[in-house]
Structures are given as C-alpha cells and as structure tokens.
Structure 1
Amino acid sequence: MSKEQKVDAPRAPGSPGGWDERSEELLSETALVREPAAWRGAGAGAGGGASAGPGVDARPVRRGAVDPVKALMHRHRELCERAVDPLEIAAGLEAHGVTDRTAARFRHRDVFALAEEMYARMPRDEEERGVPLALPSSGAPALPTGWALLALLPGAVCGLAAAGLELSEGRARVAVGLGGVLAVGVALRMTLRYGPLRSAHHVVRATRAWVCFLVAYALLGDGLMRAAVAGGPDGPWAPSTAAVLGLSLAVAPGMWCARLFTVGARRRLSRSRGLAEFTASARPLLVGVVALYLCALGALLAGAGALYGVPTPAGAGALGALLLLSRLLSSYGCWRAPVLMLGAAGAVEGVSLATVFAGRLPGCGWVASPVEGAVQALGPGVVPVVACGVAAGVLLLHSLRVLSRASAHAGEAP
C-alpha cells in the first residue's frame, strides 16, 4: 500500500482548542496526491524519461499549495464578516494569540498586513463592495456634550457639603453630613455614567462595596486609628474632610487624563504598523497619564490640607491612584484585577485596625505591636499608604500589560 500524505482541515470557528504550532504547520504544508491509476505505467512525457516499472507507484506530484490565509479566514470567519475595518481583524487575531511572528509564517510582515489581506479577500454584500475601505479612527468615539464640565460636579458638591459642615452644629451637622454623602454619590454616579470612564460592563457589587469602604476609611480611618493607638477611642473622633474633598476634586483631572489616554492610544494604534510598535508607544503614554494625574491629585490634596490646616493626607493620594487605575481597567472590560486589588487594600486596612483592638486582650499584645509601632513612628496615614500604594502598583503593572494591546482599543472605546 503506497503512502499518502494528508493535510488536516482547519478547525471551524468556536471549535475546542486554541491556536498552536501544529495548526500553523498544517496550514503552511503543501498537499501531495498520488497520480491517477490510469497514468501508472505510462511512459515519460514529451520531455522524455524512464517509465515507471509495473507495480511501482509513480512519484507523487505537487498539487496547488494550501492557501493558509484562506484557511485562517475560515477559522475566524465570524470575525472577518463583522469587521468594519482591518483594525478590528488585527485586534481579534491578537486576542486569539496570533503575533507578528505567526504572521511571518503567512508571508506578511506583521499582523496588521495580514488583517488587511483578510479584510480585502472577505466576500461581502453587493452594497458593501462599492463602499471604500474604512480607515481606523485616530480618536476616541464622541462623548456627550458637556462631559468635561460634568466632571467638576462631584468636587463642587463635596465643597458645598464641607462648607455646610463647618457652618452647622449638633443634629443639623449630622443631617448635612448625611445629605452631603448622598449628594456626592449621586454626582459621582452621573459623572461616571456619561464620562470617559463609563463602563459598558456590569460593575460587580463587591467593587462598589470595597470602594465605599476605602472612601469611608479615608474619611474616618486615620482619626480612629490614632485614637485607638492612644488607648481610645473616647467619644467622636475628627473626620479627615480634607482627604475626601481632595479626592472629590480629583475626579475632574482623572476624567480628563482618561480621555487623554483613550485618544492618544487610538491615534497611536492607527499609525502603528505592528503590535510591538504599538506596545512600545502605548506604555509610556499610560505612565505619563498616570503621572500627570498624580501631580494634579497631589496639588489638590495639598490645597485641601492647607485649607483645613492639616498635613497633606498621603493615604488619600495612594487611594486616588488605586481608584483611577481600577476604574480605567473596568472601563475596558477588565474587572477581575480591580476587584481583587480593591478587596486586598480594604482587607489590609480593616485587619490593621482590628489588630489594634485585638491587642488589648490578655496575652495578645504582640498582635498589635507591628501596627502600633508603624503608626507611632510614621503616623496613622502609613496604613492606607502601604495598603493602597501596593495595590495601585500591582494594577499599574497589570494595566501596562493589558492596555498596551491593540485588542483593547480597536473595538468600541469606552
């Protein structure tokens, strides 16, 4: 029985298994077929040559090579059909593990060039054939008119609530405080819904719960920690109004920086001719945007601290960086890492405060020693600085990896 080399058919879209080296080899192989039985034993062609002996199969001849691009189009047919420009196909291929090195096996310099050929070869309706090729947009989709001014609303509402607290006393002060918290929450929700940090994905309840806990700790945690280390708390402790006011005012620069990153990333994506080139330009952009936000946040917190005559709340600065990065990732559909880091930061703050009270139990003084020593040496703000700072650093590293992908910016921008 003669040998016959077979070529596996490409997997259909949605079939189990991902892109691997075996798939690439199968797509790039050349099909070999046997000559028909009627040709066996025939003499040489017009060019002359020895004829094959009886009972010996003729040497297989090459049929046309398998079109690897066509097989790839069949594998990602749904992606090619719904794409409105080659950029979406390139982002989808990248999300499925196709890299520039893989594109080289298809005789293309990068994934973008491969996506352009797939887009051009994809059959479309008669109405679409007369439409010229759509070029990728260099900017982010438009936002509702006035979103830049709407970003100032949380800071303005918080400022009015803080002024009302200073002018009221007794029960009226409590009522003004509760009303201010509700008003700031409503203003922040409106800003996030219609601003650059809006998210098309459902925000899990755990994320909102941890954000509320972290903001509450920024308002009351430092005072409670200071009183607990001193042996209290005896009676009410002073809230850190300057920290919350600075965070509310920083919502506006956070929105503007997020918009700057979205527009800049889309512009770099439209000009890049390779995934490595886009990644190399997107990462410095993200670092620069985060640094710009931290400068604005630091200035606002310093101003709020000077207004109330207190030192600049460093813990609120770390919390602001954590909140911006978590919301930025959530707006691009990455919600697992933010909820984990928000939960880790909140757990560290809660456990640190609990250890101080647990140290008062007989024989448990060693439990509170690390936290009490750090607070006495560096102040109560060291707890949120460490908790939120480490979590923000982890999210920054995660953002540099996730938001530097073309697939994060090619589709519907947030």
Structure 2
Amino acid sequence: MDPHTPSAPAPRAPEISTGLKPSTPGPARRSTADPVKALMHRHRELCERAVDPLEIAAGLEAHGVTDRTAVRFRHRDVFSLAEEMYARVPRDGETPPPPATERTPRARADWALLTLLPGALCAATVVGIRLTEGQSRLVAALVGFLAVSLAMRTALSRGPLGTADRGPTTGSSAWTYWLLAYAALGDGLLAAAVTGGPDALPTGAADAPWPMTTAPVLALTLSCVPAAWSAHLFAARARRKLAVSRGLEDFAASVRPLLLGTFALYLCALTALAALSGAALGEPAARPQVIALGALLYLARLLTVHGFTHAPSVVLTAATAAQGTALASAFASRLPGCGFLAAPVDALVDLWGPGGIQTLSCGLGALALLIHGARKLTRASAHARTEAPC
C-alpha cells in the first residue's frame, strides 16, 4: 500500500484541470498585453465622468497624448483611441445625457445686455466730464470710473468672456486698468514730459497742459459687445468642428483660420468704433493705439477664458512695464547727468509721436499672444473645459 499512497490524490487532477486556476493566467497575460486597458486605468476618473469620446480625447491631449502616441496603443489618432476607451467604460446601464445642448454655447440676452453696460456708462461719464468744471468734473470722473469698472467686471463675469471656475486675477486686472488709464492720460503726459511739463494736473480738457483723451477709452468700452460676440462665435464654431474632426491635426488646421477670422472681425468693429468715437467727441481717433490695445486685451481675455492664464498675465505685465519705463525715463532724464535716459523715448516720439509707445508695447504684446493663441486655442482640450454660463 505504501507505494500507492502518493497516487491517492490522482482522481482530483481532472477537477483541477477543469477548474478556474489554470484559466487565471490567460486574462492576466491579456491585461498586460492590453495597453488601452492600462491607459484607462491611468485615466479612470476622466473615462468615468466623460459624457462622450470627445471629452476623453481632449483630456488625453491635455495630458500630452498625441496622435503619434496613439499609434503605440494601436490606433491611428487620439480620437479613435478615445472612442475605444469610452466604449469600454462600464456605465451600469445608465445613458448619459446628450451633450449637444450643454456643449454648444448659445447666445443669451443676459450677457448680451451686460456687454452694453460698460460702453453706455462710459459715454455717460464722458458727457458728465464735458458738462462740468472744477471739482464737479473730478467727482464726475471718479464716479464714472467706478461705475465703468463695476460694469466691466460684471460684463466679464458671464457669457463667452466669463470664466466659470476662475475669477479674474488681481494682477491682470490691475494691469488692464493701468493700460486703460494710459490710453486716456498717458500720451498727453508723455508729450508734456518730453517738452519739460506738465505744469498742472489734468483737468479733463483737451487743451489743458496735461490733456486727457476720452475717445480711445470710449471705443474700447463700446467694443465689449463685438468682443463678446466674436468670442462666442469662435467657441461655438470650434465646438462644431470638434464634433466632426477625426484627428487632432485636422482639428487644429480647421480652427486656426476660425481664430484668425473672428479676431479680424473684432478688429474691424473696434476700428469703426474708434473712428466714430473720435468724430463724436471731436478728438483724434488714435486708431493705431486703440487697435493695438484692443487686440492685446481681447486676446488676453480669450486665452484666459479657455484656461491659459500665464501668458496673458506675463504679456500684460510687460506692456505695462514698457509704458511705465518710458514715462519714468522722460522724467528721470531731468536729473543732472541723466539726459541720456530719455534718448530712446525722444527718438520714438519724434518718429511716431507720443502714441508710439503705446502702439509698440501693446502691438508687440498682441502679436506674442496671437502666436501663443494659435498654438493653444487650436487644441481640442481648450474647448472641453467648463465654461461660464452663456
């Protein structure tokens, strides 16, 4: 009997061979050979909350997954990879709500009316400044400045120029106010500084030693309306192109002309508003300065709305620093032995006039943001973020 005792468990062999243990290595080998499953595990939260494959594609792109990377996962592009990931996510029989209504921005009367407020209040402020004198004019200017600032902040809180999950940064807001103040007072102060002035504080009159120009500010506040509609048109058309695109490169190629077209549309409207404001107020239209500043502020806001806040902050800071440096150099040159400090400013003023500083600083900043925006705003991930209610 002893020689046969080891063979006693032999009848169990068929049970083991037909059990689950031998089959467990199969799925384990398939899971290690399934790169898509590993990618889904890495981005599990994205896959579970996505309402369509486009959201997964945008999220993957935001994490650095490109069409070239998708080839390693046996797909021709990120969109195809996202479709498989979306199809393989278990959803417990729940059907997600159709995203078309939510994901396509629609024009609404509330933000459309809010964009009219800054221009209307600025026009009322200009009328108040022109109809008053002395201390009453100063009070009208201060009250108007506060009213226009509040209206601008309200207009930027909703609609295509608003951010749902990010309030306006303090630094960007401060630089924006500086740039608007320079548009009204900076050219007059610079022109007076290079000739030895100013001899008095600004009085609000165009013929004062330190003149104030209100036409540029009026045109910029009125341009909130075309800025909002241009941003709305860009967002809506980009979403539609995102729905029909079959690759990230195709989407970028189709959105780039859209970005340039809506930007040109805003500039055309701003140019017309600058001409009308100058004619109505009897002031020089200052179109180069207004166009450069408007382009800078529009692109900075458009990038901020789509989640790219660093570059606008840096460029606005640089433009503000350039204007402040020009003014400081003009005054510092009056110190003994420091006359050379004003040489660049004097040369630029002689060449282009006092408005050359603003045109150059804002124009270069707008060009930098346009190049940056052509890279960032043509990404699918830029149009899959949560936006402010439209």
Shared topology, TM-score over 0.5? yes
Where do 1:1-40 residues align within 5 Å?
Answer: none
For the pair 1:331 / 2:305, whether they are aligned, the reply is: yes
Preserved contact between residue 137 and residue 267 of structure 1 (Cα < 8 Å):
no
Match of 2:213 in 1: 240
Structure 2 equivalent of residue 32 of structure 1? none
Task: Point out the structure with the larger helix share.
Answer: 2
User: How many Å apart are 1:143 and its aligned residue?
Assistant: 6.0
Residue 195 of structure 1 and its aligned partner are, at CA, apart by 2.4
Give 1:76 deviation, angstroms.
1.3
Q: Which amino acid aligns with 1:97?
A: G
The residue number in structure 2 matching 1:167 is 131
Name stretches of at least 5 consecutive residues in structure 2 with no aligned partner.
1-28, 203-209
Identify the residue that residue 76 of structure 1 maps to in structure 2. 43
Q: Which blocks of at least 5 consecutive residues in structure 1 are unaligned?
A: 1-62
> Structure 1 residue runs of 4+, over 4 Å off?
132-139
Deviation track 1:26-59 (CA, whole Å, cap 9, x = no partner) reads xxxxxxxxxxxxxxxxxxxxxxxxxxxxxxxxxx
Partner in structure 1 of residue 271 of structure 2: 298
Q: Which residue number in structure 2 is paired with residue 158 of structure 1?
A: 122
Whether the 8 Å CA contact 2:51–2:96 is kept in 1: the answer is: no
TM-score normalised per structure 1: 0.81
Letter paired with 1:398: H
For residues 353-398 of structure 1, the C-alpha deviation after alignment (integer angstroms, 9 at most, x for no partner) is: 1101111111111110110121123210000001111111111111
Aligned residue among 163, 180, 190 for 2:144: 180
- Say if 1:345 and 1:391, in contact at 8 Å, map to a contact too: yes
Aligned-partner Cα distance in 1 for 2:43–2:101: 23
> 2:376 pairs with 402, 405, 409, which one?
402
Q: Percent identity?
A: 56
Residue in 2 that maps onto 1:42: none
C-alpha contact (below 8 Å) 1:139/1:264 kept by paired residues: no
Q: State the distance in 1 between where 2:221 and 2:40 align.
A: 49
Which among 163, 166, 174 is matched to residue 209 of structure 1? 174
- The answer to which of 195-204 and 331-340 deviates more is 195-204
Equivalent residue letter for 1:393: L
C-alpha contact (below 8 Å) 2:114/2:155 kept by paired residues: yes
- Partner of 2:160, secondary structure, is coil
**Which amino acid in the other structure matches residue 220 of structure 2?**
L
2:326 alignment counterpart: 352
Q: Secondary structure at the match of 1:193?
A: coil
Moved more, 87-96 or 97-106: 97-106
Q: Which has the higher contact order (CA 8 A, sep 6+)?
A: 2
Task: Choose from 53, 58, 78 the match for 1:86.
Answer: 53
Q: Which residue of 1 aligns with 2:86?
A: 119
CA distance in 1, matches of 2:169, 2:225: 24
* d(CA) in 1 for partners of 2:182, 2:46: 46
> Residue 413 in 1 paired to residue 387 in 2?
yes
> Tell me, what secondary structure is at the counterpart of 1:363?
coil
Between the aligned partners of 2:321 and 2:309, the Cα distance in structure 1 is 18
| Mapped partners of 1:149, 1:340: distance in 2 | 31
The AA in structure 2 aligned to 1:188 is M
Asked if 1 retains the 8 angstrom alpha-carbon contact of 2:67 and 2:247, the reply is: yes
Whether 1:105 aligns to 2:72 is: yes
Question: Structure 1 residues 373, 90: CA separation in 2 closer, same or farther (over 3 Å shift)?
Answer: same
Aligned to 1:224: 189
Cα distance, 1:306 vs structure 2: 1.7
Distance 1:284 1:386, change over 3 A: same
Q: Which residue of 1 aligns with 2:247?
A: 274
Q: Number of matched residues?
A: 350
CA distance in 2: counterparts of 1:290 and 1:335, whole angstroms: 19
Residue 139 of structure 1 deviates from its aligned partner by: 5.6
Q: TM-score, normalised by structure 2?
A: 0.86
- CA drift of 1:107 comes to 2.5
Secondary structure in 1 aligned to 2:140? helix
Deviation, 1:146, is 2.8
User: Using the alignment, how far apart are the partners of 2:91 and 2:281 within structure 1?
Assistant: 65
